[in-house]
Structure 1
Amino acid sequence: MVETSEIATGTTVPLPTVNISSSELINPAHPYFISTSDSPGTLLVNTVFDGKSFGGWKRGMWIALTAKNKSGFIDGSTVEPEVGIDLHRAWSRSNNMVISWLLNSLSREISESVLYYSTAKDIWAELEDMFGQSSGPHLFQLQKELSDLVQGSSDIAAYYTRIKRLWDELDT
């Protein structure tokens, strides 16, 4: 029996089928699985990337996407099926969810610069190209921040956190 859906005109149209077992799609370990708690508006990292501290933002996004079993969409290990194959719709839905999560974690200006890429992998690669390269001026800025850093009126935890972040960023 073919499932159908009624559209606004009152006519019924057949619903597309996916040639994958239903147990596979509801398996949380499958990369195409989308939980009921997942939504395109979800923020996966608590700081929007504004062009500074790319290494920290990248690490946070990688951890979040790995926890959701979606890191394959940015590293290329979850390969896009051929268009026209039923499974392509499930891949596309998951890819678009990852794109939404990426765009929501970027500042408006950066988001607009990658908005029209069609895959999460392409967006990730573009962000890597734009911000992932170490530059002499950036390294100098980090070293200067470290040398100018004083505890001042900050408590020891705040001071340590700030210096540790600079060390980690310099290390990456």
Structure 2
Amino acid sequence: MPGDDDKGSKGKIIPTTSPLYLHQSDSTSLMLTQIIFDGDNYDLWAPAVRNGLDAKNKLKFIEGKVKKPDEDNDDDVECVAWRQCNAMLKAWLRNVIDVKLHPSIAFEHTISEVWEELKNRYSAGNAPRVHQLKGELMECKQGRLPVVEYYTKLKTIWDELVNYSKNTRCTCGAAAEIAKEREEEKAINF
């Protein structure tokens, strides 16, 4: 064809394993999670969104690992694919954010900027949240709750506390002993 040359981007195809690949079933109406971010539930919502994006092979976008291609090649297949993915991910994120919060992210250009803005604004600092969770754990009583509900309540607190704990690498073998102590502590709480 006139104007097409073998060195151009016309023949490039985005591989299905690439984060730049959008499946034909991907649409702007996709819900990454059933949890809607309302400004107060970031710590519950963010991991659910990350999981949804990981399932779609798009996690690297919010992490900033998929860089915007050079705009000099605006018609390049990868540049077009990046713009489409970025727009799609912004739509997916808006779908799981309460409408009242949309104006606060409307003018961010990239999905990684949107994600970073939300994280900086709404992510609770570790120390106050850990303190709050430990207080909840101390006050958690079974009372009239069925065992299943009581255990679920405890497990939710334990899991969030683990989320805030620092994961340091242990070379002395004490990690297994620490994990055993934590499990014994959980059994005592229960």
Q: Which bin holds the TM-score, normalised by the shorter protein? A: 0.7 to 0.9
How far apart are the structure 2 equivalents of 1:37 and 1:53?
29
* Percent identity of paired positions between Structure 1 and Structure 2: 30
Matching of residue 28 in structure 1 with residue 21 in structure 2: no
How far apart are the structure 2 equivalents of 1:170 and 1:91?
36
* SS class of match (1:34): coil
Unmatched runs of 5 consecutive residues or more in structure 2: 3-7, 165-190
* SS class of match (1:32): coil
> Are the equivalent residues in 1 in contact too, given 2:35–2:48 (CA < 8 A)?
no
In the superposition, relative to structure 1, how do residues 142 and 94 fare at CA in structure 2: closer, same or farther (>3 Å)? same
What are the residue-to-residue correspondences of 1:56-71 with 2, within 5 Å?
Answer: 56-71=44-59
Give the TM-score of the pair, scaled to structure 1: 0.77
Aligned to 1:7: none
Matching of residue 40 in structure 1 with residue 28 in structure 2: yes
1:82-141: CA deviations, max 9, x gaps? 224123221110011111111211222333311221100001111111122416554443
Matching of residue 170 in structure 1 with residue 158 in structure 2: no
Match of 2:66 among 78, 83, 86: 78
Structure of higher CA gyration radius:
2
Aligned to 2:146: 155
In the alignment of these two chains, the number of paired residues is: 155
> Are the equivalent residues in 1 in contact too, given 2:43–2:124 (CA < 8 A)?
no
Tell me which moved more, 110-119 or 47-56: 47-56
Q: Pairwise CA RMSD of aligned residues?
A: 2.3
> Are the equivalent residues in 1 in contact too, given 2:42–2:123 (CA < 8 A)?
yes
